[in-house]
Structure 1
């Protein structure tokens, strides 16, 4: 039993090291896109903070979702954030599954380049929208009488460039459309295309729908913020997905042609899926007759046999 555990650990370590080498090569080629995406996330945070300075609290607008969904209250507002955090962490871990699991369909670096492209495009539209019209925030800390409904004007340029993590939870003014739904829908759409488990795909869409209801019930956004996010994110992802280069497919596996000249060690590597010469991989169809060592089919059937 100990021997099998050691062999399994050794294979897992080799697979991990092989994947690290592959991903570092892709990172060297695509680091500019990743860096640009991360910088755009920072710019989006600055924009959300900037609209908080000019936010003016007021009575909440009439909203259909507020009439249909009971208010969760401040003591239960964490439920929405808990669901969103679970989606974010689950998707993040899934993008790194090729380092451990054998079922490799994606490259981690390339999938994050694609995800960041979707996020940046959606957030660009979001910034334009919430700066066009500032609505009074329906959240508890954005209502009249709250001390944090409007930020005091900055005393230095450095204060403007500094993003307070506290502002992620207590921002005001950046309403149309929901940032939480942008991330959730981009993650669900990405897994729907590149994931392999049908049950998880269906569960992901269910979670996205529940997340929408929780955002409205916790009064973090108006219903329009969620509705606009649903069709905008889907349209943006659909359009960009047609323009971006498709990810290389890692699921196509061809059966190896094992010749007599191969050593036992080489055949063992083939059976375990380790790297081999691509010329040694050929499709093998089930036919009558024999296949010689050169891969040529010899038909043994004769007329009248």
Structure 2
């Protein structure tokens, strides 16, 4: 029993080391993309803060969602791992940045009077006084400035994050029940956002088709993720620039097809076309490449 525990502990430690090494190697290759994505999150917050300065309260617009929904709500390391965390986050941040860029353009193009209670005429929070310093703008008054922002309406940032993460799990997740629950919660959240008067109905509707189009088209630009269902190791890592310099095209082709240099090990390795079927099954499609 002691021998078994020691052996399994050793395997677990080797797995943790292999996972950590793999992700760190990918991070070294893709840190610029991740950093750019994080910086763009700050820029988006800065833009939302800026539009509040030019927001002007006015009568609430006529909205079918407001008529149908009364004001009754208020704002509110697994073994089966089949994806590389760094690469997936590169994709997620790319989806967020593209969606938020389109959002910034729309809410600066036309400023709508905010429907929320703190954005209405008579509220001290509806209009921001001119900033006393540049630092006041750059700090974006987090989190108060985010919670009580006005003017950044079309389209809903809440739905951007929700749909991006739901779409990502839809592609790479393995649990059908979680996928179905995620879509159900996204639909419920859409109604809650309107019911809480955080956004107009048009903000939510535009988010639904815009974010889905963004994810669809940007995802097409990325090469598919390599399959790692058959184990962990350098053979399944995307080929880095350093590795490209040291390997021939023939060697790279062998590695991408799951074959080692040993002819005895020339067997076709199953590859995943960037997504998994529910409950651990994979889609058998050839040609997986680097995902970033």
Q: TM-score, normalised by structure 2?
A: 0.77
- The alignment status of 1:25 with 2:3, answered yes or no, reads no
Structure 2: distance between partners of 1:36 and 1:70: 41
How far did 1:146 drift?
Answer: 1.2
Structure 1: distance between partners of 2:139 and 2:79: 42
Structure 1: distance between partners of 2:66 and 2:102: 25
How far did 1:72 drift?
Answer: 2.1
Structure 1: distance between partners of 2:70 and 2:138: 38
- The alignment status of 1:154 with 2:131, answered yes or no, reads yes
Structure 2: distance between partners of 1:5 and 1:117: 43
Structure 1: distance between partners of 2:149 and 2:83: 35
Aligned residue pair count: 239
Alignment counterpart, residue 89 of structure 2, candidates 107, 112, 123: 112
Q: Render the CA deviation track for 1:99-135: whole Å, top value 9, x for unaligned.
A: x212121100000000000000000000000000000
Alignment match, 2:251: none
Larger Rg: 1
Alignment counterpart, residue 213 of structure 1, candidates 149, 170, 191: 191
Residues 223-262 of structure 1: matches in 2 within 5 Å? Answer: 223-252=201-230
Structure 1: distance between partners of 2:224 and 2:128: 44
104 and 157 in structure 1: CA distance in 2 versus 1, 3 angstrom threshold: same
Alignment counterpart, residue 157 of structure 2, candidates 167, 170, 179: 179
Structure 1: distance between partners of 2:8 and 2:200: 52
**8 Å Cα contact 2:106/2:155 also seen in 1:** yes
Q: Which runs of 5+ in 1 are unaligned?
A: 79-99, 254-275, 285-305
Alignment match, 2:107: 130
Alignment match, 1:43: 43
**8 Å Cα contact 2:260/2:266 also seen in 1:** no
How far did 1:12 drift?
Answer: 3.0
Structure 2: distance between partners of 1:168 and 1:64: 26
Q: Render the CA deviation track for 1:7-52: whole Å, top value 9, x for unaligned.
A: 5444333322211111000000100000111111111111000000
Structure 2: distance between partners of 1:203 and 1:8: 35
Structure 2: distance between partners of 1:24 and 1:278: 26
11 and 158 in structure 1: CA distance in 2 versus 1, 3 angstrom threshold: same
1:104 aligned counterpart, secondary structure: coil
156 and 9 in structure 1: CA distance in 2 versus 1, 3 angstrom threshold: same
How far did 1:191 drift?
Answer: 0.6
Alignment match, 1:270: none
Alignment match, 1:67: 67
Q: Which runs of 5+ in 2 are unaligned?
A: 232-258, 269-292
Structure 1: distance between partners of 2:149 and 2:226: 40
**8 Å Cα contact 2:119/2:126 also seen in 1:** yes
Alignment match, 1:103: 80
Structure 2: distance between partners of 1:136 and 1:281: 66
Structure 1: distance between partners of 2:261 and 2:72: 58
Structure 2: distance between partners of 1:154 and 1:212: 33
